[in-house]
């Protein structure tokens, strides 16, 4: 991922470094039921993990990426459930971490992807999943920044 991680200050808008997009993800996460499981079989524990993933804020971005991402996420779920048994080799744990990085499943990964969880996404962006992948400034120019939100906690 190009360039250093962005520096944020409360109350300031930020511009995505390197000309990339900055993405607002709603704190409420994806609404509605999760997509159907895309693999042929589903093992114990996978249904619960799948449903949990699809309620996360990141699921908003995944949904906008389309159907192809679902099979990759299903394989991630399968790998994660297997690694939680405690007998997974170190190589599998490394693969799991890499997939987590690709899909923004850690704070560092979200920062590298230029994703930010916000309390409220503007209505014009919230209505269209693909539009969520571009932050738009007041003049309607794509990729021009994302709002910083104070943490109420």
For residue 88, give its domain range: 17-29+36-133
Q: Is residue 142 part of a domain?
A: no
Residue 144 lies in a domain: no
pLDDT number for residue 123: 66
Question: pLDDT digits over 20-40, tens only?
Answer: 457 889 999 988 899 999 999
Both tokens assigned to 51: 């449903």
For residue 146, the 8-state DSSP code is B
The count of domains in the chain is 1
Q: Residue 141: inside a domain, yes or no?
A: no
pTM, entire model: 0.66
Domain presence at residue 44: yes
Helix axes 58-65, 68-83, angle to 10 degrees: 140
- Mean per-residue pLDDT over the chain, rounded: 77
**What is each CA distance from 44 to 48, 50, 62, in whole angstroms?**
9, 11, 24
3 lies in a domain? no
Q: What is the pLDDT of residues 46-93, one digit of tens each?
A: 999 999 999 999 999 998 888 889 999 999 999 999 998 878 898 999
Residue 104 within a domain? yes
What gap in Å lies between CA 133 and CA 144, rounded to an integer?
Answer: 12
């Amino acid at each position: 991922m190009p360039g250093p991680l962005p520096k944020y200050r409360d109350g300031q808008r930020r511009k995505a470094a390197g000309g990339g997009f900055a993405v607002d993800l709603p704190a409420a996460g994806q609404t509605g039921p999760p997509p159907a499981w895309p693999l042929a079989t589903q093992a114990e524990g996978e249904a619960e993990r799948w449903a949990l993933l699809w309620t996360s804020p990141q699921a908003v971005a995944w949904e906008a990426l389309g159907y192809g991402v679902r099979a990759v996420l299903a394989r991630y779920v399968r790998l994660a459930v297997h690694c939680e048994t405690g007998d997974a080799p170190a190589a599998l744990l490394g693969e799991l971490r890499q997939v987590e990085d690709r899909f923004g499943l850690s704070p560092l990964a979200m920062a590298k992807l230029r994703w930010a969880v916000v309390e409220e996404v503007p209505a014009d962006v919230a209505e269209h999943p693909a539009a969520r992948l571009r932050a738009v400034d007041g003049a309607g120019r794509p990729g021009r920044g994302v709002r910083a939100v104070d943490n109420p906690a």
